[in-house]
Chain A
Amino acid sequence: MSAGGIKPARPFQQAARVTLANPQMRRNLRHATTTIREKRLRAVAELPDWEALRDEGAALKDHVMAHLADALLDLEAAVQARGGRVHWARDAAEARGIVADIAAAHGAREVIKVKSISTDEIELNAALAERGIHAIETDLAELIVQLAEDRPSHILVPAIHRNRAEIRDLFRRKLGAELLTDEPKQLAEAARLYLREKFLTTRVAVSGANFAVAESGTVCVVESEGNGRMCVTMPGVLVSVMGIEKVLPTWQDMAVFLRLLPRSSTAERMNPYTSFWSGVTPGDGPQEFHLVLLDNGRTDVLADEVGRQTLRCIRCSACLNVCPVYERVGGHAYGSVYPGPIGAILTPQLLHLEDRNANTLPWASSLCGACYDACPVKINIPEVLLYLRGKITEEKPLSAEAIAFKTAAWVMSEPHRFEGAIKLARSGQGPLVKNGAIHALPGMLGGWTEARDLPAFPPQTFREWWRGRPAPQPRETDGQAQTSEGELLAPQRGDRGPA
């Protein structure tokens, strides 16, 4: 069963080593992220107004966040008016209880699931199992992860870390498809045969939600395979679990996100299946509909002025695909169902910055900024990373590292101290220097010299050079002309203004 949850079992640094030491997984990740990165750039380049669309998406989300309570109450009223039931879940335990009670009340032994990140967040599958109910993932990649008793490693492509040969072996073992080859068509057919039977026989379905429209009480799931469509139409009972930030006030707002999401996530102009449902319709589709509105830390994120932008996220996964750190370590290193750059800011915030392991995530970034450029709703992920680093560091007791940084700041705040420190380092570096470079550093700096040399301090600093330098003469250099003010005319002048 696919494990879930958002509490990392280990600090990022430790968890990252597992994938870093697995060359096959690294090759799989690199191949997949490189491919989708290039596809996304092409898909985005097709739209001349992409930047304006990003701005619009960000502004709409910010507007919803500023009026979230109203939007949710409108949604509740509209869902109820159409014969659905709305449940408010403060935390994961409440949400798990609500869904499990509904399934149990219908005597379900199995439930089918789709779009299950929010249900993974609350670790629903394990809670259902405790009540004797088996959850079946119907998204192909989720199914692979579930059959492998693995964890999802990507928001959109949960089995991104697996290649076709690995999946073939898994299906041979778990689905009894012994003659299977690793051809995608055959793999899909094996999964289809297994899932179709489940769609036809299972009475309760659980879904997540990409969006919900408050004005009509409509819930939306966007997907590629059609399995989600089967889940939300075939069974008699449908329970949808959605984070409270997924609500949109109007259908007009939806138009913006249905353009932003597919290009950012799968690099498609439009996704193959977009399913909408509003309450219940007698004689058509599920006859009982429950909407679980999940908070689980979100209102605290909302209350934070800088962190709030995290809730704009539409789970497209563009930031994962462009992140050089994610590409090397994969999703498991983040220890949460929300991996990659967005996970590095979302996970610790959902846990109120109280989880020690989750609090290592804001440092899981070189701050290269690629995630911010790719984000369709302009979440300034580097900014939030830095903000969280500050908050987490403030709370920590004084460590050796903190003392080192505080000392450095004291030294740096005064040029004479700074200069004195350089002289001291220069005279003390002798034993470490070999052929002009340092090949091994002691203590917490040792990580650097595992794979890199460090140049030695040169004999003279810049400021020493500057002090010793003769006052500059007005010079006629290289035979180039000067203006009457003495300003040298450059050999060639290009366009003024930023490049």
Chain B
Amino acid sequence: MIVDLFITCLNDAMFPRTGEATVRLLERLGQTVRFNAAQTCCGQMHFNSGYQEDALNLVRHFARTFRDASVVVAPSGSCVGMVRDLYPRAAEWAGDERLLEEVNALTPRVFELSEFLVGHLGVEDVGAYYPHRVTYHQTCHALRVLRVGDAPLRLLRNVRGLNLVELPAVDQCCGFGGTFSVKNADTSTAMLADKVQNVMSTGAEACTAGDNSCLMHIGGGLSRLRAGTRTVHLAEILASTEQEVFA
């Protein structure tokens, strides 16, 4: 199968290793991976902050870029959530019928990495090896918008050497929320403080999730406290093997 990657702007610029891991993982599973260099950003930051006209340009750009893709996979629940859940809204609210048709045709082909692996490829054991104590944070978009369910956990449970420890209050938001963390920094910090406490209570060496935006937030809090727990994207754990620990 030819899989078109949507690496997302944040991963491209700040977390390239997540993108590399996604490529290695999908290729290891026999997929032909393509990266269309015309891609940029899904427009979530703009849309969520109220700049919907500006977001619309990015929606159109995304729709053009991936028009011919048979499957688009991204290592980000929130960006895929934006595409699947909010692209149709963006087109509707702008009264752009043609764009609505385009995105309605595209969105059923766009998947978050873990839901693609488990739901679409039917793979739960990706042959990974990662000998660490790990806790998993459910990100809000994967949980409530995409309903990926326990797909990430099924993948993690099959990673050899990995000791999976449950995160208390796992379904609670970390408080990132994009510009929420800047505009309502105090409230966001209060939410983050609880999340960081819960992560630390597990004694995990690493906290993982399917979204680097949440992990950047949680990781930023852990780093400030010199907590000794790292954050690592799910793709990097799944890409790790006995030959090469990726994360």
Residues on A close to B: CB < 8 A?
12-13, 16-17, 20, 26, 306, 324-325, 328-329, 362-370, 372-373, 383, 386-387, 389-390, 392-394, 402, 405-406, 408-409, 412-415, 418, 422, 425, 437, 439, 444-445, 447-448, 450-455, 457-458, 460-467, 472, 475, 477-478, 480, 482-483, 486-499
Contacts and interface: CB of A to CB of B under 8 A. Distances in A.
Given A370-B173, A492-B125, A409 B46 contact: yes
Given A367-B177, A451-B224, A453-B219, 7 more contacts: A366-B176, A415-B37, A450-B189, A452-B217, A458-B17, A466-B23, A491-B125
B121 to A, nearest CB: 7
B51 to A, nearest CB: 4
A494 to B, nearest CB: 4
Nearest to A422: B13
Contacts of B211: none
Nearest to A475: B27
B182 A462 contact: no
Nearest to A472: B27
B186 A498 contact: no
Given A363-B183, A454-B216, A405 B149 contact: no
Contact of A452 (B37, B192, B241): B192
Contacts of B176: 366
Contact of B58 (A392, A409, A491): A409
A414 B9 CA distance: 12
20 contacts: A20-B190, A325-B184, A328-B187, A329-B190, A363-B183, A393-B51, A405-B45, A408-B54, A415-B40, A452-B181, A452-B220, A452-B223, A458-B15, A467-B37, A487-B1, A487-B30, A488-B29, A488-B30, A491-B125, A498-B115
Interface string B156-178: 00100000000000011101111
A493 B30 CA distance: 14
Category for how many chain B residues contact A = 35 or more
Contacts of A496: 119-120, 122
Interface of B: 1, 7, 9, 11-17, 19-20, 23, 27-31, 33, 35, 37-41, 43, 45-55, 57-58, 61, 86, 89, 93, 115, 118-127, 140-141, 143-145, 147-151, 154, 158, 171-173, 175-193, 216-217, 219-221, 223-224, 241, 243
A328 B219 contact: no
Contacts of B187: 16, 20, 325, 328-329, 364
